[in-house]
Amino acid sequence: MRGQATAGRVTNLCMKLAAAALLCLWSAAASAQGLAPNTTYDAAIPTLKAVLGHGHGEAITTPDEVGRYLDALAKAAPDRTRLVQYATSWEGRPLHYLVVGSRERIARLDEIKRGLQVLASGATDADRLIADLPVVVWLLHGVHGNEISSSDAALAEAYHLLAARGSADVDLTLREALVIIDPMQNPDGRQRFVTQNLLGRALEPDPNPQSAEHDEPWPGGRVNHYLFDMNRDYFALSQRETQGRARVMLEWYPQVIVDLHEMGGNSSYYFAPPADPINPLLTEAQRKSLDLFGRANAAEFDKRGFAYFVREVYDAFYPGYGDSWPAFHGAVAMTYEQASARGLAFTRDDGTVLSYKDGVTHHFTSATTTALTAARNRERLLRDFLEYRRSAIALGQKGMREYLIPPGKDASRAERLARLLAAQGIQVRRAEEAFQSGSQQMPAGTFIIPLAQPAGRLARNLLDPDIKMDDAFLKEQDRRRKARLSDQIYDVTAWSLPLMFDVDVVAGDRPAGVKTREVRPDEPASATPAPLPQGTLGFLLPWGSGAAATVTEALRQGIRVQTADETFTHSGRKFAIGTAFVRLAENAEGTAVKLQQIAQRHGAELLPISQTWTEEGISLGSGRTARLKAPRVLMAWDSPASSLSAGWARYTLEQRFGQRVTAMRTSTLQNYDMKDYDVLVLPSGTYNYSEDGLRRLKDWIRNGGTLITLAEASRWAARDRVGLISTDTLWRDGTPEKDAPEGGTQGGGSGGGGAKPDSAKPFDFDKSIQPDRERPENLAGAMLRVTLYPYHWLTAGLDGDIQAIAEGSRVFAPLKLDAGINVGVYAPADRLVAAGLVWKEAQPLLGERAFLMHQPTGRGHVIAFAEDPNYRAYAEATQLLFINAVLLGPGH
């Protein structure tokens, strides 16, 4: 593997660069001193230098080397460690955690784990457990692969805890705490960073921040293979790495979690307490502990003379961070941020040079101080944790008692949501019979999420439609936006899973007395295919998420599939637009069983039929059905495409729906003859096609190609840019952007010389300083209601309203009737906002503007999304719209 070929090179480089190996030796000695002054180390524990050839902070340790050093430590101290591989990255690299504890603790590790699980259940008689259990401190490193010092600090932390001799602090830490070190949460991203850094490396480390070794090419090392920011993936659990991490955290239930990051090189160091806003479901005890750790770190940083800041930037509102998701399981969870050298040396704006070793030392210091502080407060932290879990149960016994999710029209989507909740430690049950909840009749198969459970606050966070920010914070943001200052909102302001999945949720105030069984995240889909009724001549698949995945796989296997462009009634049941039909007579032998297996795997409903007569609507042999083909899909890759948008699209295609896609660099793409492809996806971005390239793109569409543009790519495609689709993007005042910004006549805000002075009226200062033309107000990330045009095949599997995540400042005028169809339109202003923060003044501009447009062009299509339907792979509903475009577009 390419990664491994470079593995040993950093070491070699360090030696060669040193001209005489002296320089490396010198810094190894310095680093041992620098980390923890006056510490004596046990020679039986191998140093980093002995195993890898470089000391702490002298080289950027590669992912492969991280693994080798962990192995060496675990082998040297088998009775005080346990090394566990908990996941494998998309690119095949192992993810580990190393448990470090006293001999006594490690000998009883499994018993301790069981004890922690009992504690986490909110056990009533827990005194013995609390007297006995260690406090678990989980140190997470390098979730962003280019935040490099974090992983090297992890290796230093492990070495220090295992090798320090006669240190009262280390002895106390290991007596009272169990320290779990995850040194590298994103090995693929780290390898990407290390490779490009090495490629750009000068004769000796170049501190110029603009030099090639610091300047990462697209997509950068922050993200994983699918270009996901894994620090936003906790409740979506879309990535293998996060899935593994959530699973093992739910085995150990740590009481203290630190996620160690890096920030811009001109900063200093950040640790808790966090900035506002604070999620209202964090408790007072948690906030007090954030303060406790903050003060302990501050005292140590003062002692060492390190600069730091608290409270100013990193908030604790959004629940999908590595430092917030575990907090709703009861941990004290914190983010620490070190200024990044983004290499071995970095010249700051003030002329001083930040070294990689500085970063490693600072992270090492805060991490070991945190573990020590936790050890000193062992009993308090365990009691707080227990109380958090118990009070969550108590909270759920008042007011609303449970959430109910009926299977609804697309049972595959409800089931996916139920499993996702179960995968994050939330108890979910499935009703085995129909039941009554209040005045509502709930069918068998309804999922029940009781709120009286230890993870009740996490359940509320993810299932409530909206989590409110506090008024003082909102007031300050309102002031800032009016002054045209950027807001202090760090991430999206809405994330309700039922809204994003577009499933119905019923709030129940009485626990349902109904026969149920527990939902397990990994429970296999139902067993063997049901025997087919006599005379089965084909199958109907009502469209939905599971059906889309089924049909994608079926088409790839050569099964012939039709899709209904209108509704029909068969055997008394009404079938919606998009329903797929497979006729066995036109398929190979064995298709029935094959299709049954595929459908089961994807949780799709597959109905055998023995005659094709429809009582109402179109016939199954009608011209108003479309023959689907396995689409050959191309997508733009590399700058100027947004790496996140490109990664989300690729993930949605390949992993969510099993659709193959050719990712092609944008520079190659515009000169490429696309005749062998049916679909082109342009992720968010402002493209720079040549005139010739654009002409060829338009010809390809006219000849039957389906172009799908996402977010900023739709802005680029609009009439005022390259004219692939007849929409206009709008200014804040609702006028099209194509109008000259100096227009003057329409804005009415030009307070200067143009207007005739009216001596009778006082000068209107506020009005006079309003800019003439502005982009629409920026959305930090909110959920907007979208009304779908139900007669269009793009909406198959969805009905009426859905919710879409909107962020940024894009507003599109709807298409005129002669240009195309506005398949999705934002709801009118008064019911536009489904959840999250959208300023009142911004709502009228968005109301009834276009979300999803379809413009038939020649024999092809342009399908434009105003926002990214695959945003972080959060929203099943909009992802279904996206796969509909890919799968159904070429058939029409």
Site of interaction with Zn ion (CB under 5 A) = 144, 147, 261
Is the Cβ of residue 144 or residue 715 nearer to Zn ion in the bound state? 144
Strand, helix or coil for residue 594? helix
Residue whose C-alpha is closest to residue 213's, from 361, 81, 64, 343? 343
Is the Cβ of residue 142 or residue 889 nearer to Zn ion in the bound state? 142
Is the Cβ of residue 362 or residue 413 nearer to Zn ion in the bound state? 362
Is the Cβ of residue 186 or residue 795 nearer to Zn ion in the bound state? 186
Is the Cβ of residue 340 or residue 879 nearer to Zn ion in the bound state? 340
The nearest distance, CB 343 to Zn ion, in angstroms, is: 16
Round to whole Å and give the CA distance between 803 and 795.
13
Placement of tokens 């106390």 in the chain: 172
Long-range contacts of 584-590 (CB under 8 A, 24+ apart): 584/536, 584/537, 584/538, 584/539, 585/537, 585/538, 586/560, 587/559, 587/560, 588/558
The nearest distance, CB 377 to Zn ion, in angstroms, is: 27
Strand, helix or coil for residue 775? coil
What's the half-sphere exposure (Cβ side, CA atoms, 13 Å) at 890? 20
The nearest distance, CB 277 to Zn ion, in angstroms, is: 20
Alpha helix ranges (H) inside 149-229:
149-163, 168-176, 187-200
The nearest distance, CB 309 to Zn ion, in angstroms, is: 16
Strand, helix or coil for residue 41? strand
The nearest distance, CB 261 to Zn ion, in angstroms, is: 3
Positions of E strands within 53-176: 81-88, 94-100, 135-141, 164-165
The nearest distance, CB 791 to Zn ion, in angstroms, is: 46
Is the Cβ of residue 81 or residue 231 nearer to Zn ion in the bound state? 231
Is the Cβ of residue 76 or residue 263 nearer to Zn ion in the bound state? 263
Q: Is 335 exposed, middle or buried, given 0-12, 13-18 or 19+ CB atoms closer than 10 A?
A: buried
Beta bridge partners of 833: 784
Strand, helix or coil for residue 337? strand
Residue whose C-alpha is closest to residue 670's, from 650, 651, 697? 697
The nearest distance, CB 147 to Zn ion, in angstroms, is: 5
Residue whose C-alpha is closest to residue 169's, from 333, 383, 365? 365
Beta bridge partners of 707: 680, 862
The nearest distance, CB 188 to Zn ion, in angstroms, is: 15
Is the Cβ of residue 81 or residue 370 nearer to Zn ion in the bound state? 370
The nearest distance, CB 229 to Zn ion, in angstroms, is: 8
Is the Cβ of residue 340 or residue 666 nearer to Zn ion in the bound state? 340
Task: Determine the length of the chain.
Answer: 892
Structure tokens at 291: 């303060």
The nearest distance, CB 300 to Zn ion, in angstroms, is: 22
CA quadruple 244, 250, 253, 259: dihedral, nearest 10 = 30
Is the Cβ of residue 144 or residue 160 nearer to Zn ion in the bound state? 144
The residue number whose beta carbon is nearest to Zn ion equals 261
Structure tokens at 242: 């996060």
The nearest distance, CB 198 to Zn ion, in angstroms, is: 22
Residue whose C-alpha is closest to residue 505's, from 459, 544, 467, 547? 459
Round to whole Å and give the CA distance between 265 and 437.
56
Is the Cβ of residue 340 or residue 714 nearer to Zn ion in the bound state? 340
How many H helices and E strands in the chain? 28, 38
